[in-house]
């Protein structure tokens, strides 16, 4: 690893008064995996967006393989050998693997696509890097892990020699993650270089050669992975020691929400449930593990009043609940949606209006007129209590970082519009991916808020694709696959391997 393949010198990027990247200089060597870490809002996404041509730096320069890399031109980045696999799939579901890989690689004026040559090249690339694939498979029928394999092949097909992986294991089972790590080892053995972005510190230490840490837009540390620890990395990322969440003594109470043999139909797999049953108890955290798209969305919509069951029934506090979000909120349901930007907040509205969005009729409105003074006062208390940073209560919600947006949503859910947080306790908390994409400090903070609410007597349903999170928090765990929910078992009775197999639809056992 002596040849420098990528050199960033003095990269600075400003958005108004915000300095997202502040004179960052980095180098990447041939056959090296460099992990890029930092809190939410630290500047990681901005930096790799500049590298891949999505943004133009205000200052600084980039060299790829000894030649200047033009600014703001993704095509130039691809031509220079820089590829990027985004956190969320960018593949066309209705096309085949081969069509997706070849898309954009041929001139528009070529009358006939050279599919035979493309197929041979794809299969040769797959063989070289150990990425088995069926060129004729329709992407819509592939698993999440298989889709990611295609995303990587798409970059390698274009002769990428530097590969940027953004949160590559966020939606993978443990077995799929292991397969990805084996792929990475094969790629670096072939001379590929990788920039690896992840919030999972264990896998960062396992996979990377070096680690670069950003904080508040600045490069604050670079180190060899073998010379550091998980706790040391977390402290460098946030600039302080992160105390682990504390589980307070609590006992399981009565069932407050019961899902009884519920079936929900839908065109997409993510919208379906088949005979799902689950009871949620006061003072208990029940977690649902599963690969994204296996019915979690249908379960959340059911428990937030957005959809009705086609068969079976769901009760809250012994009362059958309608498909009416307002009724669920009035009954004490706190909702923390997976999509914080498009579902959890209204980006163009200020923080104070988002803070009362679920409770504006009562107590923040009278005769259809919002009581702005009371609403703004509530928002200030929420912002202070939940440490929402980003410019104050008049800041548009879209301007907040992911972590601060999640704090706003969590504060709104757990406060229930009450004048004092201590005056309100949700009956049921539905938390879907509550720490998705958050840094170590924000994750610990969110976990503590959920544990505290549960210790006070709330029932919590945690839906997460992060098995470490589930095993750390849950009292009971169920697995969802293809809309079918396994019986919930005590968390201590599951192993990581069993969870991974159950998530893939294999090896699930009945409850003990």
Contact 133, 116 (CB under 8 A): no
Q: Helix, strand, coil: what percent of the chain each, to 5? A: 35, 25, 40
Instruction: Return d(Cα 384, Cα 405) in angstroms, integer.
Output: 14
Structure-token pair, residue 455: 């210790």
Nearest 5°: phi and psi at 108? -65, -25
Instruction: Return d(Cα 359, Cα 334) in angstroms, integer.
Output: 11
> Could you read off the pLDDT of 301-351 as tens digits, one per residue?
999 999 999 999 999 999 999 999 999 998 999 999 988 888 889 989 999
Exposure class string for 109-127: b at 16+ Cβ within 10 A, else e: eeeeeeeeebbeebbebbe
Is residue 403 classed exposed, middle or buried when 0-12, 13-18 and 19+ CB atoms within 10 A define those classes?
Answer: buried
Instruction: Return d(Cα 420, Cα 416) in angstroms, integer.
Output: 9
DSSP per-residue codes, 134-171? -TTSBGGGS-HHHHHHHHHHHHHHTT-SEEEEESTTTT
Taking residue 75's Cβ as centre, other Cβ atoms within 10 Å add up to 10
Nearest 5°: phi and psi at 370? -70, 130
CA angle 466, 208, 12 (to 5 degrees): 95
Using H for helix, E for strand and C for coil, what is the string for 166-232?
A: ECCCCCCCHHHHHHHHHHHHHHHHCCCEEEEECCCHHHHHHHCCEEEEEECCEEEEEEEHHHCCHHH
Helix (H) or strand (E) holding 244: none
Is residue 428 classed exposed, middle or buried when 0-12, 13-18 and 19+ CB atoms within 10 A define those classes?
Answer: buried
Taking residue 29's Cβ as centre, other Cβ atoms within 10 Å add up to 16
Contact 143, 291 (CB under 8 A): yes
Instruction: Return d(Cα 274, Cα 73) in angstroms, integer.
Output: 47
Contact 299, 257 (CB under 8 A): no
**pLDDT, position 511:** 38
Separation of CA 407 from chain center:
15
CA angle 68, 69, 71 (to 5 degrees): 125
First to last CA, the chain: 51
Q: How far is CA 165 from CA 38, 141, 169, 251, 318, in A?
A: 15, 23, 9, 42, 47
Q: β-pairing, 476-481 with 484-485?
A: antiparallel
Of residues 180, 153, 166, the one with CA closest to residue 99: 153
Instruction: List the domains of the chain with CATH numbers.
Output: 4-238 (3.40.50.300), 243-332+426-512 (3.40.50.300)
Q: Which residues of the chain have pLDDT under 70?
A: 1-2, 87-88, 144, 170-174, 417-423, 437, 507-512
Instruction: Return d(Cα 445, Cα 429) in angstroms, integer.
Output: 16
Report pTM.
0.70
Q: Position of tokens 């020699």?
A: 161
Q: What is the dihedral of CA 383, 389, 393, 396, to 10 degrees?
A: -130
Contact 494, 294 (CB under 8 A): no
**pLDDT, position 43:** 87
């Amino acid at each position: 690893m002596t040849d420098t393949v990528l050199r960033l010198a003095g990269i600075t990027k400003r958005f108004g008064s915000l300095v997202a990247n502040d004179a960052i200089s980095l180098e990447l060597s041939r056959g090296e995996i460099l992990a890029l870490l930092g809190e939410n809002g630290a500047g990681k996404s901005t930096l790799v967006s500049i590298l891949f041509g999505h943004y133009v730096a205000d200052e600084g320069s980039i060299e790829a393989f000894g030649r200047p890399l033009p600014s703001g031109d993704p095509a130039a980045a691809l031509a220079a050998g820089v590829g990027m696999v985004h956190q969320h799939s960018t593949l066309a579901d209705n096309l085949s693997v081969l069509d997706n890989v070849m898309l954009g690689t041929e001139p528009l004026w070529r009358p006939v696509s050279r599919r035979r040559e493309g197929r041979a090249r794809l299969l040769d690339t797959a063989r070289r890097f150990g990425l088995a694939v069926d060129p004729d498979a329709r992407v819509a029928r592939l698993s999440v892990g298989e889709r990611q394999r295609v995303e990587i092949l798409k970059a390698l097909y274009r002769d990428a020699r530097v590969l940027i992986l953004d949160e590559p294991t966020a939606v993978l089972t443990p077995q799929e993650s292991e397969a990805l790590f084996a792929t990475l080892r094969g790629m670096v053995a072939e001379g590929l270089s990788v920039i690896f972005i992840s919030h999972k510190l264990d896998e960062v230490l396992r996979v990377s050669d070096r680690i670069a840490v950003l904080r508040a837009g600045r490069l604050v540390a670079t180190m060899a992975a073998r010379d550091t620890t998980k706790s040391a990395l977390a402290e460098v990322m946030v600039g302080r020691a992160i105390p682990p969440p504390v589980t307070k003594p609590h006992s399981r109470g009565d069932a407050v929400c019961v899902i009884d043999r519920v079936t929900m139909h839908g065109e997409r797999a993510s919208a379906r449930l088949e005979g799902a049953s689950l009871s949620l108890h006061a003072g208990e955290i029940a977690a649902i593990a599963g690969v994204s798209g296996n019915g979690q969305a249908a379960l959340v919509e059911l428990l937030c009043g957005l959809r009705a069951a086609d068969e079976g029934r769901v009760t809250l506090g012994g009362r059958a609940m309608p498909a009416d979000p307002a009724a669920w909120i009035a009954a004490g349901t706190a909702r923390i949606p997976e999509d914080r930007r498009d579902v959890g907040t209204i980006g163009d509205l200020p923080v104070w209006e988002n803070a009362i969005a679920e409770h504006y009729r009562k107590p923040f409105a009278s005769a259809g007129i919002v009581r702005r003074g009371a609403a703004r006062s509530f928002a200030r208390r929420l912002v202070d209590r939940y440490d929402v940073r980003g410019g104050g209560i008049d800041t548009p919600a879209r301007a907040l970082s992911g972590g601060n947006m999640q704090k706003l949503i969590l504060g709104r859910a757990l406060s229930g519009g009450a004048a004092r947080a201590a005056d309100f306790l949700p009956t049921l908390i539905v938390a879907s991916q509550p720490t998705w994409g958050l840094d170590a400090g924000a994750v610990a903070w969110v976990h503590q808020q959920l544990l505290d609410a549960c210790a006070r007597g709330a029932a919590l349903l945690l839906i997460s694709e992060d098995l470490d999170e589930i095993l750390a928090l849950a009292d009971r765990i169920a697995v969802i696959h293809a809309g079918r929910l396994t019986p919930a078992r005590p968390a201590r009775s599951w192993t990581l391997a069993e969870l991974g197999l159950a998530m893939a639809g294999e090896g699930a056992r009945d409850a003990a």
